[in-house]
Amino acid sequence: MSAPTVATTHAMPDTPTAAASTSTVEDVAHWDSVQTYVTELNTYCTQLRWSANELEEEAREIRRALALLGRKQQVQRVLFDNTMNSNDDDEGGDEVEMM
């Protein structure tokens, strides 16, 4: 999506009266093109705001997922450490009993 642009026209009048008339017509045409440009620009900005809001929501979801993943890894580390400590205690206890 690209930003809208303003179209301009320049005509060379033959007489001073034609120059005034042409100038007025050009001014009106230019004003219409400016109004069209402003309307298109407003629409474009609205679309950008919607896109930015969608990206912000996706970023929040990604941060939540990463936080959950980090928490899951912490829990798995604790469980692994507890399992290893439990195995060390069991093995140590067996060796003592066997002696």
What is the number of structural domains in the chain? 1
Say if 90 falls within a structural domain: no
Say if 45 falls within a structural domain: yes
Say if 96 falls within a structural domain: no
**Sign of the four-CA dihedral 27, 30, 32, 38:** negative
- 59 is written with which tokens? 């970023």
Residue 96 burial (CB count, 10 A): 8
pTM higher than the cut 0.75: no
**Sign of the four-CA dihedral 37, 43, 44, 49:** positive
Say if 64 falls within a structural domain: yes
- For 54, how many CA atoms within 13 A lie in the half-sphere containing its CB? 6
pLDDT by residue (tens digit) across 62-98? Answer: 999 999 999 999 999 999 999 888 876 665 555 555 5
pLDDT by residue (tens digit) across 41-53? Answer: 999 999 999 999 9
Q: What pLDDT is stored for residue 32 in this prediction? A: 87
Q: Three-class SS of residue 90? A: helix
Q: What pLDDT is stored for residue 26 in this prediction? A: 76
